[in-house]
Amino acid sequence: MFNFLQVQVAEIQEVVDAKSAELASDSIPVVSDIASTVLELKDKPVSEVFQFMWGKLLDFGLKVIAALAIYIIGAFLIKWLVRLMKKIFEKRKTDLSLAGFLISLTKVVMIILLVVIIIGVLGVNTTSFAALLASGGLAIGMALSGALQNFAGGVMILAFKPFKVGDFIDAMGFSGTVKKIAITTTRIHTVDNKEIIIPNGTLSNSSINNFSSTGNRRVDWTLSLTYGDSFEDAKKAILEILKDEKRMLKDTEPQVILFQLSESAIQVSVRLWVKLKDYWDVYFEYNEKFYEQLPKAGLHFAYPHLSVDLKTKA
């Protein structure tokens, strides 16, 4: 066991020595260049040393001038690109949240790229800098995986617009009017004025029922009538109630259908097309009218009940 540990320690030491030699070899050229330059100038006249230093200074100055020129041109191009993106988004009426985010993201990426180019022009090795940015981006991406999923969902929603602010939707088990679409969440208000905040990541991957996409909506009632009531009489009574409804869409007619024969009732379906804004008013108003006026026409609403027959022996 002791011999095995010795072998493992020796292997680890070999790896450490190899890495140390590798790092040392990377720094040797730089150190040797500096040392050779110092030795070369040591025995030179002062004029030659001054001329050498002047050449190095001139070379560095040219690099600084080039870096300043690249900075000025790059800053101008970034501003021009931002203005161009704003005009394109305004022309296409892109959502303000999405447009603002894309412009900010593009600006940040372009600034980072400009800084890397300037550093490279000044003679600094940018390989380690790029590796640092890549590793930092990977670490941030892993730490914010859930937030990035919501962000991607928000981009999809804002780009493809399955719904917009003001639409009445049914999604994730909630129904309500969309009040705000942010880059990571969507806020809807239910009919009882509750605010529901839904993450865009799950919302973009779920089924969304948008009632406002066409501007019209069908109102449905299901009336349970007792067996023995005439369906024709029920149909006539229902159409009589609906005949003066002016909110019904033009070129449409109310439908009264014998929808289902259940165990204890006949299910009559009533359908009427209206504008989206009139949906709830029509629905609640005729709930009341059906309840009050159908019994006056001799019709009876069914309800669950149990009949018991008692038989006695003689």
pLDDT the model gives residue 146: 63
Structure tokens at 87: 């005009």
Packing angle, helices 127-143 and 96-121, rounded to 10 = 150
pLDDT the model gives residue 273: 94
Confidence of residue 236 (pLDDT cuts 50, 70, 90): very high
Q: Are 242 and 274 in contact (CB under 8 A)?
A: no
More confident residue, 308 or 43: 308
CB count in 10 Å sphere of residue 173 = 8
More confident residue, 63 or 306: 63
Find the mean pLDDT for residues 6-35. Answer: 48
Phi, psi of 168 (to 5 degrees): -100, 120
Q: How far apart are CA 81 and CA 104, in angstroms?
A: 11
pLDDT the model gives residue 92: 78
pLDDT the model gives residue 214: 82
Amino acid at 279: Y
Full set of structural domains in the chain with CATH: 45-143 (1.10.287.1260), 160-210 (2.30.30.60), 216-297 (3.30.70.100)
Q: How far apart are CA 15 and CA 229, in angstroms?
A: 94
Q: What is the mean pLDDT of the chain?
A: 79
Find the mean pLDDT for residues 292-309. Answer: 85
Given the DSSP bridges, would you call strands 266-275 and 208-210 parallel, antiparallel or unpaired? Answer: unpaired
pLDDT the model gives residue 27: 41
Given the DSSP bridges, would you call strands 216-225 and 208-210 parallel, antiparallel or unpaired? Answer: unpaired
pLDDT the model gives residue 104: 78
| pLDDT exceeds cutoff 90 at 311 | no
185, β-bridge pairs: 199
pLDDT the model gives residue 202: 86
Q: How far apart are CA 161 and CA 215, in angstroms?
A: 16
Q: What percent of the chain has pLDDT over 70?
A: 71
Length of the chain: 314
Q: How far apart are CA 256 and CA 238, in angstroms?
A: 8
Q: What percent of the chain has pLDDT over 90?
A: 26
Quick: pLDDT tens for 108-135.
Answer: 888 888 888 888 777 777 666 666 666 6
pLDDT the model gives residue 142: 61
Find the mean pLDDT for residues 52-61. Answer: 69
- Name the DSSP letter for residue 249: P
Q: Are 266 and 258 in contact (CB under 8 A)?
A: yes
Find the mean pLDDT for residues 196-200. Answer: 91
Given the DSSP bridges, would you call strands 185-189 and 195-199 parallel, antiparallel or unpaired? Answer: antiparallel
State pTM to two decimals: 0.52
Q: How far apart are CA 282 and CA 249, in angstroms?
A: 12
Quick: pLDDT tens for 77-92.
Answer: 989 988 888 888 888 7
For the chain, how far is it from start to end, CA to CA, in angstroms? 100
| pLDDT exceeds cutoff 90 at 290 | yes
Quick: pLDDT tens for 159-168.
Answer: 788 888 888 8
pLDDT the model gives residue 9: 43
Quick: pLDDT tens for 24-39.
Answer: 444 444 444 555 555 5
Find the mean pLDDT for residues 94-108. Answer: 75
Q: How far apart are CA 211 and CA 163, in angstroms?
A: 9
pLDDT the model gives residue 145: 59
